Structure 1
Amino acid sequence: MKRLLFTFAIACALIPLNAQETLTLSQCLRMGIENNLQLQTRRNDIAKGGHAITENRAKLLPQINAVVSMSDNFNPPVSVTDGSAYGNPYNVTKTLQYNASAGLQLQMPLYNQTLLTALDITKMMDRINRLGYDKARNDLMEQIAKMYYLAQSTAEQIAIVRANITRLEELKNITVAFFDNGMAMEVDVKRVNINLENLQVQRDNAEAMLVQQINMLKYVIDYPVDKDIALTPVDASSVEAVELSGLCESLPELQLLQKQGELSEKQQKMIQQGYLPSLMLTGNFTYSAFTDKFSNWFHSGPSNHWYNSSGLGITLRVPVFDGLEKRSKIRKAKLDAENARLAYDDALKGLRTQYMNATNDLMNSRRNFTKQLDNYRLAEDVYAVTTELYREGIASMTEVLQDEMQMSEAQNNYVTAHYSYRLTALSLLRLTGQLDSLLK
């Protein structure tokens, strides 16, 4: 029995109860691109665009339909012709009550410029769908990176606060020992306890915030909610460099606006082509039968004989007057094209302004981060010296707490500066078309 319990204990120690996976930013980005539900919807739109091209291309191919009909003319129509050659002023012919027909009908456009332009428009819509996917992919990558950086900063803040709590607990023990020996006042112990409780509350709030940020990240990348993940820690020694290569004018959002303008011009052209004539090939191969009694369909005889008729024809359609409908559509299409051009120019100017501001922010953020990192390390050194002096009875509790407060402020400024720099660098990666570098 003891051997069995020992074996079970060893197995429990070797098998982790809740394995935690550490995900890098590139892994999160790849998972998001592959699993994000909204991005899958965009991929479905691309597939729909391919089917739409096939659908419009089919309109240029022959259309063959099988047609079967049967009629009961319970009040048969009559035809009246000139019967003077037969001694009667009119010759009245009455149609038989029942008739049926079966055959094939053919239609094929020989020339229809509107259909050809419609096919070009469908291909352009497919291109717009692909650009929309590229834009949605870039937006998703930027969103995931922002969430990852934010969670990283929160985790870094938690680690710093925990280290501060450890330091303050040591200080508390020293102060309590001093108080027991009559070397410190009770108010000093209370001051340490207050600061310690404040740090613990700050840690608890940050941990709750980190859980929410991780859960949101899981949702965006479609990661199982019941599985725990961890992020790579912040490496303050290495700051990502961004190549300032200028604004990339082939960004998906700019190409999208450009293609929308071209689409409006194509639609205008298609409306204008509605004034052109169209030519269509038609044909039929039909068998018809007529009888005066329904029962005659079920036995052979002269009354249910099937007659063949077939032929080919060409139909020319020339638009003459449409009530000025096309003129109004053309004017609307011209305004749509003008609006698309204005939207493109406005977006281009806006992105250029964003690039200039981001470049300026990058320099300022990097300089600010470097200073805050130096201040953070300096504040830790000052706090360590003051604490040591307090242990030796040289420094007062007030000096220790002041240095501790300055160190906490420097730590928070360092975390905020690092996060701000990363956001600015991320914005520049998007504007310069280098977001894919995050996947490496």
Structure 2
Amino acid sequence: MKRLLFIFSIFCLPIAKGNSQETLTLERCLQWGIENNLSLQNRRNEIRKSQYGISENRAKLLPQINGFANFNDNLRPPVSVTDGSSYGVPYNVTHTLQYSANAGVQLQMPLYNQTVYTAVSIAKTMDEISRLSYGKAREDLIMQICKIYYLGQTTTEQISLIKANIARLEELRDITQAFYDNDMALDVDVKRVNINLENLQVQYDNAQAMLIQQLNMLKYILDYPEEKEIALVPANTETISQDSFNGLSEDLYELRMLQSQERLAEQQKKIINHGYIPSLSLSGSWMYSAYTDKGYHWFHSGPSNHWYDALSLGLSLRVPIFDGLDKRYKKRKALLDIENIKLTQEDTRKNLQTQYLNATSDLLNNQRNFKKQRDNYLLAEDVYEVTSDRYREGIASMTEVLQDEMRMSEAQNNYISAHYNYRITRLTLMKLSGQLDSLVK
């Protein structure tokens, strides 16, 4: 019975190991990355901070109530001297008591302050910019994940083709070795095959190492557990999709952020102008005060421990008259900021339009290249098969076979590279035309 369990565990171990590897689709990677990417979480926290900023500025419009309490020990009490003619003396000298205390509450509330109102509007614009920055970071993350995923798929396809080429050369080596054993081939022919076989093995090992690095980078971007093994869905390199793009989108985050920045600069200019407008606020206080010449008098009844209350309510009007031309120069700087943002908007729009035109041209060129490289790859594969068959029949030489094998490997690499370049260009056009979110849905 123990022997049966041991044998069962040996056969089940590779199965369990194989099942531990998870195959991730591109959509799954995008969803995982958006939910868990650390940089994107930082952007979400910035949105929360901007929302708190709105509440912080709104709080300035609410009443501000503060409590206070003071105790003072006049070690050398000051005196006040007043006119004493009404008392029959030249001067009336009043001595301050040594101890005094007061406690109460104070009220401050703006009734009209245009600067505070504009500050609330600025906080809302900052919140909008934070949201647009998050959207831009999310879009950049989608682009980054797609590029790494496409690169991993390309490397996987390259590994598959190299394995197939190694299998072909191993078969050719066995045939050449048989020919050599029967004095039908030279020793140099066997060495040539072995050299090419070793070169392919080096390419295979390099591609495997490259794929591991790409998958590790993908896990880092996704914040995926490092201990888990992942695999990618194989790419369909047989065909390419025919997409239609309707020009540069005006809803791109780069353009929307510049529009919000222009609005922010306009509001900052307004807040400078509002510095010339008077402001009105409400103030009030309610307090109790007590005075005595001996501290212990506060602990028994009498006039010295009596607390006197005071209540006041008033309006405060602030009218700016002259600030040394400070706001004048600030306004000029704000106007230059607005002009610079408008120039940046125009430059950015032209740059994005140029990128769109170039990407459209590259897409058409990559489509043509893909079709040509695919035809060349299939043709080179057919030529290699024919030459290999002729070699088996003793008609073709080993040199011809190895030359055709090298041409086929080169055609394979060009074919895979053309497919990757097409997908990257298509991804760029999806971003510029505002269709990138369709990859996540």
TM-score of the superposition, structure 2-length normalised? 0.97
1:279, 1:238 → 2: CA distance? 72
Q: CA RMSD in A?
A: 1.3
Letter in 1 for 2:41: Q
Deviations 1:377-424 (A, max 9, x none): 111111111111111112111111111011011000001101110110
CA separation of 1:17 and 1:152: change in aligned 2, threshold 3 A: closer
Match of 1:67, SS? strand
1:370, 1:361 → 2: CA distance? 14
Deviations 1:284-331 (A, max 9, x none): 111111111112222222112000100210000011111111111111
Counterpart residue number, 1:247 = 248
Counterpart residue number, 1:152 = 153
Counterpart residue number, 2:81 = 80
2:24, 2:383 → 1: CA distance? 36
Shift of 1:278: 0.4
Counterpart residue number, 1:118 = 119
1:11, 1:214 → 2: CA distance? 27
Map residues 53-202 of structure 1 onto 2, 5 A cutoff.
Answer: 53-202=54-203
Counterpart residue number, 1:422 = 423
Map residues 25-44 of structure 1 onto 2, 5 A cutoff.
Answer: 25-44=26-45
2:184, 2:35 → 1: CA distance? 64
Letter in 2 for 1:82: D
Letter in 2 for 1:140: L
Q: How many residues are matched? A: 440
For structure 1, the 5+ residue unaligned runs are none
Q: Is the 8 A contact 2:237 2:416 kept in 1?
A: no
Q: Is the 8 A contact 2:43 2:133 kept in 1?
A: yes
Q: Is the 8 A contact 2:76 2:98 kept in 1?
A: yes
Q: Is the 8 A contact 1:242 1:429 kept in 2?
A: no
Match of 2:17, SS? coil
CA separation of 1:420 and 1:14: change in aligned 2, threshold 3 A: closer
2:182, 2:298 → 1: CA distance? 123
Shift of 1:3: 4.2
Counterpart residue number, 1:433 = 434
CA separation of 1:127 and 1:436: change in aligned 2, threshold 3 A: same
1:211, 1:14 → 2: CA distance? 21
For structure 2, the 5+ residue unaligned runs are none
Map residues 260-275 of structure 1 onto 2, 5 A cutoff.
Answer: 260-275=261-276
2:287, 2:305 → 1: CA distance? 15
Q: Is the 8 A contact 1:284 1:310 kept in 2?
A: yes
Shift of 1:200: 0.5
Match of 1:102, SS? strand
Counterpart residue number, 1:360 = 361
1:130, 1:295 → 2: CA distance? 63
Counterpart residue number, 2:398 = 397
Q: Is the 8 A contact 2:283 2:313 kept in 1?
A: yes
Map residues 180-259 of structure 1 onto 2, 5 A cutoff.
Answer: 180-259=181-260
Deviations 1:155-197 (A, max 9, x none): 1111111100000000000000011111111111111111111
Q: Is the 8 A contact 1:158 1:207 kept in 2?
A: yes
Letter in 2 for 1:416: S
Q: Is the 8 A contact 2:72 2:100 kept in 1?
A: yes
Q: Is the 8 A contact 1:165 1:199 kept in 2?
A: yes
Letter in 1 for 2:322: F
Shift of 1:239: 1.9
Letter in 2 for 1:208: A
